[in-house]
Amino acid sequence: MAGPAMREIGAEEVRAAVPMAAAVAAVQDALRAGLDPEADPARSVVPVERGHLLLMPAQSHEYVGVKVASVAPENPALGHPRIQGSYLLLDARTLTPLAVLDGVALTAIRTAAVSAAAADLLAVPDASRVVVFGTGPQAHSHLEALAAIRPVRQVTVVGRDQRRLKEFVGHYRPAAGLPFTVEAGGTEAIGGADVVVCCTTARTPLFDGAALPAHATVVAVGSHEPDAREVDDETVRRSTVVVEARSAALREAGDIIQAVRAGVSGDALVGMADLVCGRAAVDPSRPRLFKSVGMAWEDLVIAAAAYQA
- State the greatest distance between any 2 C-alpha atoms of the chain, in Å, as a whole number: 64
Indicate if 135 and 249 belong to the same structural domain: yes
Confidence of residue 1 (pLDDT cuts 50, 70, 90): low
- β-bridge partners, 289: 218, 241
The pLDDT of residue 176 is 58
- Domain count of the fold of the chain: 2
pLDDT for 259-274, tens place per residue?
999 888 777 899 999 9
Indicate if 118 and 19 belong to the same structural domain: no
2 located within any domain = no
Query: Which helix (H) or strand (E) element contains residue 198?
Result: strand 195-198
In the sheet where 44-48 sits, what is the strand order? 7-9, 97-102, 83-91, 63-71, 51-59, 44-48
169 located within any domain = yes
Q: Which domain does 80 fall in, by range?
A: 7-106+298-308
Indicate if 156 and 214 belong to the same structural domain: yes
Confidence of residue 195 (pLDDT cuts 50, 70, 90): very high
Confidence of residue 175 (pLDDT cuts 50, 70, 90): low
27 located within any domain = yes
Q: What are phi and psi of 271, to 5 degrees?
A: -70, 145
- β-bridge partners, 173: none
Indicate if 139 and 270 belong to the same structural domain: yes
Note the pTM of the prediction, 2 decimals: 0.93
Indicate if 140 and 91 belong to the same structural domain: no
pLDDT for 73-123, tens place per residue?
899 889 888 889 999 999 999 999 999 999 999 999 999 999 999 999 999
**What's the mean pLDDT in 43-72?**
94
The pLDDT of residue 140 is 95
77 located within any domain = yes
CATH code of 64's domain: 3.30.1780.10
pLDDT for 116-171, tens place per residue?
999 999 999 999 999 999 999 999 999 999 999 999 999 999 999 999 999 999 99
Q: What is the DSSP string of 20-48?
A: HHHHHHHHHHHHHTT--GGGSPPPEEEEE
Average pLDDT, the chain: 94
Does residue 4 register a pLDDT over 90?
A: no
The pLDDT of residue 3 is 61
